[in-house]
Amino acid sequence: MKALFLAISGALAGNAVAQDAFEPTDFNVTEALFANGVNVSALSDLAALVEKRSLSSPCTAACSSLKLIFGSKLLSSGSEPYDTFTSGYWSNQAAFVNPACVFRPSKAIDVSTTILVSRLTQCPFAVKGGGHTAFPGASSIEGGITITMEAMNEITLSSNKKTAFIGPGNRWGAVYKKLGEHNLAVIGGRASDVGLGLVLGGGISHQSSIYGYACDNVASYEVVTASGIILKVTPTLFPDLYWALRGGGNNFGIVTRFELETIPQGLMWGGTRVHTQASYPALIDAFASMAEGATEDPKSAQILSFAVTAGNAAAQIQLEYLEPVDETNPPAILQKYLDIPPLMANTLNRTLANDTVMLTNQMPGGRRYAFWAATYKLDREFMAWLQARHEKDVGPLADQGALAFQAFTVPAMEQMSKKGGNALGLSPADGPLMHTLLYVVWDNASKDEQLNKAALDLMNAAKAEAKDRNLYTEFIYLNYAGPYQNVIPSYGDEKLAKLKSIAKKYDPAAVFQKLQPGGFKLEGAPYGETI
Ligand SMILES: Cc1cc2nc3c(=O)[nH]c(=O)nc-3n(C[C@H](O)[C@H](O)[C@H](O)COP(=O)(O)OP(=O)(O)OC[C@H]3O[C@@H](n4cnc5c(N)ncnc54)[C@H](O)[C@@H]3O)c2cc1C
Ligand SMILES: *[C@@H]1O[C@H](CO)[C@@H](O)[C@H](O)[C@H]1NC(C)=O
Ligand SMILES: *[C@@H]1O[C@H](CO)[C@@H](O)[C@H](O)[C@H]1NC(C)=O
Ligand SMILES: *[C@@H]1O[C@H](CO)[C@@H](O)[C@H](O)[C@H]1NC(C)=O
Ligand SMILES: *[C@@H]1O[C@H](CO)[C@@H](O)[C@H](O)[C@H]1NC(C)=O
Ligand SMILES: *[C@@H]1O[C@H](CO)[C@@H](O)[C@H](O)[C@H]1NC(C)=O
């Protein structure tokens, strides 16, 4: 076994690779592994491959080889750490997936070696960040290798504090807490437990009307490509790949380090207010007014949810302002909401880290969930139509759920064109837009089919109605989409073609399409398109 580990020479040299030759046509995985210090001939389960014999059980060979190479970083099926890991997903559906093994890398080169072992054996893989995608297969893989980024959890400020290096295994609550000690923050998620996968789908944050989405505030990505090369990607280094990673999801590489731009962050104001059905018209007006008013005052943020819980309807508004607020003399943009008397309110001056705990508590894990996303032009009457249909058609069937409205404001969409633009299919000229997240919660798997059907029917009815009213947009937001939705193609033909050509350049063997089958692929919906 002494010849197994060799001096590492290869992976890092990739920065010198010519931009049009990411992978030669005669790319040899065995040699690439060799360059990473792994002698395939010395791994009994893989030696057959060097002699061009096929493997009877690709994933058994891949997992046992990773175990030999990496020891305790590899969690074998049936072990206690493996069981603890698989139960650690937000949704029950994702927690019931059983990978052949779980790999917990601590360095980019570990990730590089795993991709190469997957290619050599043809054992497929999935990558887990914070594990908040509700449907199975996006960050977990039945019978394959689940790569969890959890051990790569650095949070370090750069020397001038203008950026922070954030490991892909972090959760936003920990990031904000640490950076908050320096009165800084980054543009990221609004729930403490969500992970960095959010950046790859866009990333709606409380600060988006000022700074844009999470993906618009990335200084650099460290990415491991399909051929195991470790690249630093910035608006000027590999700018096409940088563009694709801003909204293109998991189709281009595995991010091993995010360098995010920091923003000043002191106390802010925020919390939730709960309202009865009598307030719905006023809430809809307040929502639309705040979305329209973002150009004058971009410091506010809102999520307006019309919930039905065990048959009872109520609305909840998650309201934020990026400075402390005196509720007796609030900024004008909050006034309409604050004028509506709540059943319950817990708005306070708080830290960003504390604010994010609320959303995590309101959406606790451990149940069955479905997300469905759609985007329409902002319109008060259509909001009322959507609310009523949800309350009537889907609300009563689920154990819990909501139709949640968020705004894509004009100033937020304007920020999308920073640094060469992003891959999402939105234009400020169409704004403001309203995003609907249809959020369905239940416990008994026997209800899966009925609820998927009810949700699909609502989405289709809403699409038809939006078209009639001239309010329809194609765009489907990746982070809130469900597995039957055609996300990446919804960005538009031109963006799709560009994304495909970038994938072809950096991943000519389509490793991230074929060997990493989960999540939103370039070709469309994970479970086949229905909408
Ligand atoms: C309670 C809750 C709150 C939410 N709040 C927000 C919000 O405020 N704003 C918003 O925009 N969205 C929000 N979302 C949606 C969220 O952005 C998505 O669920 C997102 O996919 C979560 O990222 P994750 O890392 O936790 O999940 P994961 O399921 O682990 O990852 C998501 C996808 O990204 C891929 N991925 C993860 N890490 C990497 C990596 N390092 N390299 C390559 N691919 C990777 C995974 O393979 C997977 O396909 C929320 C969801 C929930 C459940
Ligand atoms: C890859 O390289 C190894 C070691 O040099 C060699 O034995 C093997 O035949 C090569 N594989 C292919 C497919 O060319
Ligand atoms: C790789 O392993 C094989 C089989 O054990 C051995 O013969 C060979 O010398 C090793 N190569 C190197 C460079 O150590
Ligand atoms: C929040 O901060 C504002 C501005 O400093 C202050 O006027 C207000 O009293 C604070 N609210 C609470 C509840 O402390
Ligand atoms: C944040 O939360 C912690 C823990 O609950 C609490 O001790 C602290 O006072 C809170 N700080 C603010 C400013 O909200
Ligand atoms: C789930 O639903 C089925 C079919 O309605 C029922 O037979 C079963 O008892 C339910 N399971 C639980 C745990 O409630």
Residue-wise over 446-472: b if at least 16 C-beta within 10 A, else e?
ebeeebbebbbebbeebeebbeeeebb
Q: Is 344 in the pocket of ligand 2 (CB under 6 A)?
A: no
CA of 325 to the centre of ligand 4 (A): 6
Q: Provide φ and ψ at 376, rounded to 5°.
A: -130, 165
Confidence (pLDDT) at 148: 98
Mean pLDDT of 377-385: 98
Across the chain, mean pLDDT equals 94
Which residues of the chain form CATH 3.30.465.10?
Answer: 155-265+495-514
**What H or E segment, with its residue span, contains residue 504?**
helix 493-506
- For 42, 105, 116, 503, the CA distances from 3, given in Å and listed in that order, are 7, 22, 19, 35
Confidence (pLDDT) at 55: 77
Ligand 6: which atom is nearest the Cα of residue 444? 1
Task: Return the CATH architecture of domain 268-489.
Answer: 3-Layer(aba) Sandwich (3.40)
CA of 253 to the centre of ligand 5 (A): 38
Q: Is the pLDDT of residue 481 over 90?
A: yes
| Cβ-based neighbours of 473, under 8 Å, separated by 6 or more | 375, 376, 377, 430, 433
Which residues of the chain form CATH 3.40.462.20?
Answer: 268-489
How many residues comprise the chain?
Answer: 531
Which residues of the chain form CATH 3.30.43.10?
Answer: 2-148
> What is the DSSP pairing of strand 101-103 with strand 74-76?
antiparallel
**Which residues, in sequence order, are bridge partners of residue 438?**
372, 403
Confidence (pLDDT) at 219: 98
CA of 207 to the centre of ligand 5 (A): 20
Which tokens belong to 164? Answer: 């922070």
Of all ligands present, the nearest one to the C-alpha of 449 is 6
Comparing CA positions, the residue from 185, 221, 189 lying closest to residue 202 is: 189
| Cβ-based neighbours of 442, under 8 Å, separated by 6 or more | 367, 368, 398, 399, 400, 451
Which tokens belong to 465? Answer: 């109605």
Which tokens belong to 216? Answer: 């618009």
Rounded-to-integer distance, Cα 56 and Cα 418, Å: 50
Residue to mutate (ligand 4; options 269, 321, 326; most atoms within 8 A of CB): 326
Q: Provide φ and ψ at 524, rounded to 5°.
A: 135, -155
Which of 330-334, 388-392, 422-426 is least confident? 422-426
- pLDDT-derived band of residue 6, with 50, 70 and 90 as boundaries? low
CA of 267 to the centre of ligand 4 (A): 10
Q: What's this model's pTM, rounded to 2 decimal places?
A: 0.96
Options 3.30.465.10, 2.40.50.150, 2.40.50.180, 1.10.357.10; CATH of 155-265+495-514: 3.30.465.10
**Which residues, in sequence order, are bridge partners of residue 147?**
103, 127
Ligand 1: which atom is nearest the Cα of residue 149? 41
Cα three-residue angle 476-88-528, rounded to 5 degrees = 30
Contact between residue 105 and residue 43 where contact means Cβ atoms under 8 Å apart: no
Confidence (pLDDT) at 13: 40
Count of Cβ atoms closer than 10 Å to residue 26 Cβ: 6
Of all ligands present, the nearest one to the C-alpha of 450 is 6
CA of 446 to the centre of ligand 6 (A): 7
- pLDDT-derived band of residue 51, with 50, 70 and 90 as boundaries? confident
Indicate the fold that domain 2-148 takes in CATH.
3.30.43
